[in-house]
Structure 1
Amino acid sequence: MKEFIVFKADGIEISLFQLIVCASIIVSAVIITITLTRLTRKFGDKHGISRKFIRLVKQGIRAIFYLSALAAMLEVLDINYHKVFGYIIYGNDKYTVKVLNILIALIIIYLTRILAFGVDYGMNRRIENHRMDRGRGKSFIQIVKYLIWIIGFSIIASSLGLNMTFVIASISALLIGVGFGLQHIFNDFFSGIIILFDGSIKVDDIVEVEGTIGRVLTIGLRFSKVLTRDNVIIIVPNSRFTTEKVINWTHNKEATRFHVNIGVAYGSDVRLVQKILMSVAEKHDQIVKIPKPFVRFNDFGESSLDFQLYFWTVNDFLVENIKSDLRFDIDDEFRKNKVEIPFPQRDLHLKTKHFE
């Protein structure tokens, strides 16, 4: 079997026995890899380890065993490592790309992902332990991760033999050439950088853009994700935050004032109405005690006496729910105290004329 040659070319001879051994190595590597990755996933699920970290570990396991299998097969086939890893995939007068360069680039990408995950994990732990502000911490994480990837790709470019000065000059020329056509994209990109550095908008901030109120989930380089009160995630280009009017409710360090409109029928006891409204507001657990709620007798309307109940709360995002609770409680109290809520009415006078 060892003497039975199935392939021969360029000084390389492969026997049937070597093929069987190589197949055994591949099958063994696949079985071991599948077993270890499944055990890793189960271990991570049992101990509550981050799925992203488990995914990185599984990728590392696959890479190690597949590369080990490749090295073993090269040894069995009696093929020189230098010939394989030194094989030129692409080359010209300025630089060449070898198999080894591609392998190094993949290793650098993997190590960069691990480093970025480590930064993300470490900073999130500091945020969870209240050792860092959540919004600024998330922005800092994004900035550091982008810097890590920039450094990683720079190292990859250098490992491939690319001249960084030439690369930067080429990218600059390309950006100038397509800049007019993609100016909105570049505007969003630089707006994202500005937002991350100046901290005017941070993760978990409550913002209002074009009448839509939502909580910022993530801030990317080109767009941000905002969760609305309807539990819908909307994609907002970053240029909206820097060029248009945006209300950041979170910048209010203290509670924010809101109000509910109420109308009662003419003839109602206005002092009783005031007392009811104040008691309802003071009972709600989402309304702060200081500043104290107050009632304003706003106007004598066409069909009602118009009041406004003013209150302060720190829960800006769910303030509509607070208003709804107040309206329910006000209606209950009005029914108990026989305070009537009117509806628009018109008096119609009919005049008749007798003809002879």
Structure 2
Amino acid sequence: MQHDAENGGQGPGAEDLPPPPTPADLLEVGQSVASQAEVFLNSLMRPWNAYQIAIALGVFMVAVGLRWVFGPRMHDWMRTKTGWPRWRLKVLVVIHKRLRMIFFVALIWAAVLIMREITWPSRSYMLGIIANLATAWLVVALATRLIANPFVRQVVRYGAWIWITLTILGLTEETVAILEGMAIDLGEMRLSVWLAIQAIVMLGVLIYIARFLTKTTSERVSRNEDLSPSLRVLIVKVLQIAFYGIAVFVGLRAAGVDLTGLAVLSGAIGIGLGFGLQKVVSNLVSGVIILLDKSIKPGDVISLGDTFGWINSLGARYVSITTRDGKEYLIPNEDLITNQVVNWSHSNEYVRLDIYFGTAYHDDPHQVRKIAIEAAKKVDRVLDFRPPVCHIVGFGDSSVDYILRFWIMDPTGGLTNIRGNVYLALWDAFQENGISIPFPQREVKVLEGSQLQTSQAEFGKAAE
């Protein structure tokens, strides 16, 4: 109790921990392992152990033969089950890949049971070890198929195989002692290979749990229609940081890593942020501001400079924007904070569009306005409850100039295409009603007494 009080009630103090192994201890452990290996090799030379190994090899050859016979037949049978659920087919594929090991485990246990019935238990001891190892390896191989990441799956599989093998052979204490002896001192902290392995395993398990919790919680938050899209993204980001941060902290503490040295590391990180990561930090902070003020959210249609498109996702460093031509732009969050952004659907989805056109002076402006409004109303996506309007904006050199304004409520459907449809509707309506769209014309007047002369050479060049 005195130690707990001195250490803040968090467990035993440093004086309660076992002292690190000395070179003499490591030498003694190595000699013990070597002697056990020598005894094991000598035992293989005994007749009753030799024929157990021979039985195991024979069982393995039988398993290979069964795999060679039944493997192709099972494969052909699986190809006929096209209507089965996908998960069931995946199970069959895994079983087909491990068919030889499955046959070997079944046959080796049958051999062990038969040997125990017809002879002494010591005469089947080695067969029992082989059967336990084969069963454990098969269970690990099947269980690790649940891990989607190939690299993580291989690491977990081989790590579990090694640890289970050492456990069955009774070599765990010697292995731990050797790994504890392989260490370096970092100030007051002693970092051994065994401590590093414990930390990696603990971190891997906790990070996997944190990833599962984050994914499950994020799916529930994303389905909550009472929250705005930007608030959903913010909650998901906070949960990710919280779960992964807790996983790393708890994992390191559980593995026995001294975290007081992180103060020095945080100081170094602070210096690095001050000199080399200003833009990164600025983008991270800008991303948090965007999520908090809800200025943009996934699904909004925005314009930033020459970029026009809708927002796919809000990242920690950038915003993903997809344009109408299929290009995906990754805009840094800082640019969205410091530059002028046009959000076509910030407070509502209604967008007013303007197009300009001109007609000849001999066309009645009242009739032109009426025809233009009726033509715009007939175009899909143009709103009826916010009817189009048409106004004269000036008298040009060769035309009366008009502006036609209309409203839409789906900017995600595009702006250029709706403008083009309205222009086509105006063209058709003007053709039907005899409204002409003028183009600039120039008159050349020859003054009285002047002559227009063209040389023969210039005339020939013009003819060519």
Alignment correspondent of 1:51: none
In structure 2, C-alpha distance between the alignment counterparts of 1:338 and 1:44, rounded to whole Å: 70
1:87 maps to which of 179, 195, 212: 179
Instruction: Confirm whether residue 341 of structure 1 aligns to residue 341 of structure 2.
Output: no
Let me know the Cα RMSD of the aligned residues. Answer: 3.6
In structure 2, C-alpha distance between the alignment counterparts of 1:45 and 1:279, rounded to whole Å: 61
CA positional deviation for 1:290: 3.0
CA positional deviation for 1:327: 0.8
**Comparing 73-82 with 342-351, which one deviates more in the overlay?**
73-82
Structure with bigger strand share is: 1
Structure with bigger helix share is: 2
CA positional deviation for 1:229: 2.5
Q: Is the 8 A contact 1:188 1:239 kept in 2?
A: yes
Instruction: Confirm whether residue 253 of structure 1 aligns to residue 348 of structure 2.
Output: yes
SS at the partner of 2:391? Answer: strand
Q: Name the aligned partner's letter for residue 376 of structure 2.
A: A
2:204 maps to which of 90, 106, 120: 106
Alignment correspondent of 2:280: 185
Alignment correspondent of 2:245: 150
Q: Name the aligned partner's letter for residue 443 of structure 2.
A: D
Instruction: Confirm whether residue 119 of structure 1 aligns to residue 217 of structure 2.
Output: yes
2:369 maps to which of 274, 280, 287: 274
SS at the partner of 1:347? Answer: coil
In structure 2, C-alpha distance between the alignment counterparts of 1:121 and 1:56, rounded to whole Å: 21
Residues 1:98 and 1:166: Cα distance change in structure 2 (over 3 Å): closer
Residues 1:73 and 1:279: Cα distance change in structure 2 (over 3 Å): same
**Comparing 213-222 with 281-290, which one deviates more in the overlay?**
281-290
Alignment correspondent of 2:391: 296
Deviation track 1:94-130 (CA, whole Å, cap 9, x = no partner) reads 143342222111111211211121122222233xxx3
Alignment correspondent of 2:227: 132
Instruction: Confirm whether residue 222 of structure 1 aligns to residue 320 of structure 2.
Output: no
CA positional deviation for 1:238: 0.7
Q: Is the 8 A contact 1:101 1:160 kept in 2?
A: yes
Q: Is the 8 A contact 2:286 2:337 kept in 1?
A: yes
Alignment correspondent of 2:86: 42
Q: Is the 8 A contact 2:231 2:292 kept in 1?
A: no
Residues 1:62 and 1:270: Cα distance change in structure 2 (over 3 Å): same
SS at the partner of 2:189? Answer: coil
In structure 2, C-alpha distance between the alignment counterparts of 1:45 and 1:120, rounded to whole Å: 29
Q: Name the aligned partner's letter for residue 436 of structure 2.
A: E
CA positional deviation for 1:178: 4.7
In structure 1, C-alpha distance between the alignment counterparts of 2:257 and 2:306, rounded to whole Å: 49
- Taking structure 1 as the reference length, the TM-score comes to 0.77
Deviation track 1:39-87 (CA, whole Å, cap 9, x = no partner) reads xx932999xxxxxxxx975459877765654444224444226735983
Alignment correspondent of 2:421: 325
SS at the partner of 1:298? Answer: strand
SS at the partner of 2:411? Answer: coil
Give ranges in structure 1 of 5+ residues lacking alignment: 1-7, 36-40, 47-54
In structure 2, C-alpha distance between the alignment counterparts of 1:296 and 1:45, rounded to whole Å: 68
Give ranges in structure 2 of 5+ residues lacking alignment: 1-31, 45-52, 68-74, 76-84, 91-144, 453-464
Percent identity between the aligned chains? Answer: 25
Higher RCO (Cα < 8 Å, 6 or more apart): 1
